Amino acid sequence: MSDKDEFEIVNEKIRARMDKIGRKIMIMSGKGGVGKTTVTVNLANELSAMGCKVGVLDTDLHGPNVAKMFGIEGASLMSNDGVTFLPVEVNENLKVISLSFALEDQDAPVIWRGSMKMGAIRQFLSDVEWGDLDYLLIDTPPGTGDEQLTVCQAIPELTGTIIVTTPQDVAVLDARKSVNFSRRMGVAIIGVIENMSGLVCPECKTEIPVFGKGGGKRMCEDMHVPFLGSVPMEIDLRIAEDKGVDFLTSQGSHPSAEALKKIANEINYGTACSTSRDTSFLGTPFCKPSACSSCTADCPSRKK
């Protein structure tokens, strides 16, 4: 069989798996360390708490952090048939795949070229038993390279991208490239999140603009892309992630937790119901009547 035939067979398998998944969302940023994995993990926790079936795919092959932030470090890849893999369950609504599950030594570097990364990501999409999901959230490393390109090309019906940036000019400069990457790939931009938008002092609760404020929002206005919200920096969020506990349910009220919950809500209900912009790319809305009491949108949930 030629390489081309094999490539097409994998494409077919990916198509069959992706057909069972509602929304496939890639989380990306131009700059590293701005909070992509934080956003992915917290949105996944919140969406699963809302009752959605969520899968998380970690495509950051060189620095996989997803398992640690979910508190499932040390889990191993399992298989029922020796051919396909089972994702690791965080709870009954949430499953995860990461290369870290296949590494015996967590300190060992993954030294791979583009073609190997492409093969691994395609295998995660084709050979993992994702089952029926409402969401597949795909965490990526920084940039617009092999991993992002592979995801966009392997999943032609990708719902959209969420772009994460901090407010500072250097991060925004790189985030603009993520916006243009999405446009070039013909992928919808669900919205931009401004993370680390001010540091809330744990003592006096005043906000210190460590990376500035508003840079992400200004970029959205300038580039005409939706703004999903700002998430402040908080020490308790960082501690929860290092411990692998669910920040949004394990803690009391925090500005960053409130912001992340609001964004999850916006993605699950608000965007689907929004009449202020074209959200048709999101496909069938996941509106629940209880969340739609004040909404006048003509969506399937309201018709029920």
Ligand X SMILES: Nc1ncnc2c1ncn2[C@@H]1O[C@H](COP(=O)(O)OP(=O)(O)OP(=O)(O)O)[C@@H](O)[C@H]1O
Q: Is 255 in the site for ligand X (CB under 6 A)?
A: no
**Among ligand X, Mg ion, none, what binds residue 234 when CB lies within 5 to 8 Å by partner kind?**
ligand X
Binding residues for ATP: 30-37
Q: Is 301 in the site for ligand X (CB under 6 A)?
A: no
**Among Mg ion, ligand X, none, what binds residue 233 when CB lies within 5 to 8 Å by partner kind?**
ligand X
Question: Quick one: which segment of 32-40, 186-194, 212-220, 270-278 binds ligand X (CB under 6 A)?
Answer: 32-40
- Number of H-type helices and E-type strands within the chain: 12, 9
- Least Å distance, CB 237 to ligand X, is 4
Residue among 25, 26, 30, 38 that touches ligand X (CB under 6 A): 38
Q: Which two tokens stand for residue 181?
A: 């990457």
Q: Is 29 in the site for Mg ion (CB under 5 A)?
A: no
Q: Is 184 in the site for ligand X (CB under 6 A)?
A: no
Q: Within 140-159, which residues bind ligand X (CB under 6 A)?
A: 141-142
- The b/e string for 130-167 (b: 16+ C-beta within 10 A; e otherwise) is beebbbbbbbbbbbbebbbbbbbebbeebbbbbbbbbb
Q: What is the sign, positive or negative, of the torsion defined by CA atoms of 97, 101, 106, 110?
A: negative
In the chain, what are the helix, strand and coil shares in percent, each to the nearest 5?
40, 20, 40
Q: What is the DSSP letter of 113?
A: -
| Residue carrying structure tokens 């243009």 | 180
Would you give the distance in Å from CA 228 to the centre of its chain?
Answer: 13
| 29, 142 contact by CB (below 8 A) | yes
Closest CA to 96 of 63, 138, 35, 46: 138
Residue among 182, 230, 256, 271 that touches ligand X (CB under 6 A): 256
Question: Quick one: which segment of 31-39, 144-152, 197-205, 227-235 binds Mg ion (CB under 5 A)?
Answer: 31-39
What ranges in 108-211 are assigned the alpha helix state H? 114-126, 146-154, 169-185
CA distance 180 to 189: 10
Q: Is 234 in the site for ligand X (CB under 6 A)?
A: yes
**Among ligand X, Mg ion, none, what binds residue 17 when CB lies within 5 to 8 Å by partner kind?**
none
Q: Is 59 in the site for ligand X (CB under 6 A)?
A: no
Question: Quick one: which segment of 7-15, 74-82, 233-241, 278-286 binds ligand X (CB under 6 A)?
Answer: 233-241
Q: Is 241 in the site for ligand X (CB under 6 A)?
A: yes
Interface mask toward Mg ion for 137-166; x: CB under 5 A: ------------------------------
Q: Is 36 in the site for ligand X (CB under 6 A)?
A: yes
Residue 205 or 303: the one with the smaller Cβ distance to ligand X is: 205
Q: Is 37 in the site for Mg ion (CB under 5 A)?
A: yes
Mention every residue, 6+ apart, whose C-beta is less than 8 A from residue 169.
212, 215
- Least Å distance, CB 36 to Mg ion, is 5
Mention every residue, 6+ apart, whose C-beta is less than 8 A from residue 166.
31, 34, 35, 194, 195, 196, 197, 211, 215, 216
Positions touching Mg ion (CB under 5 A) are: 36-37
Positions touching ligand X (CB under 6 A) are: 29, 32-38, 60, 63, 65, 141-142, 195-196, 231, 233-234, 237-238, 241, 256
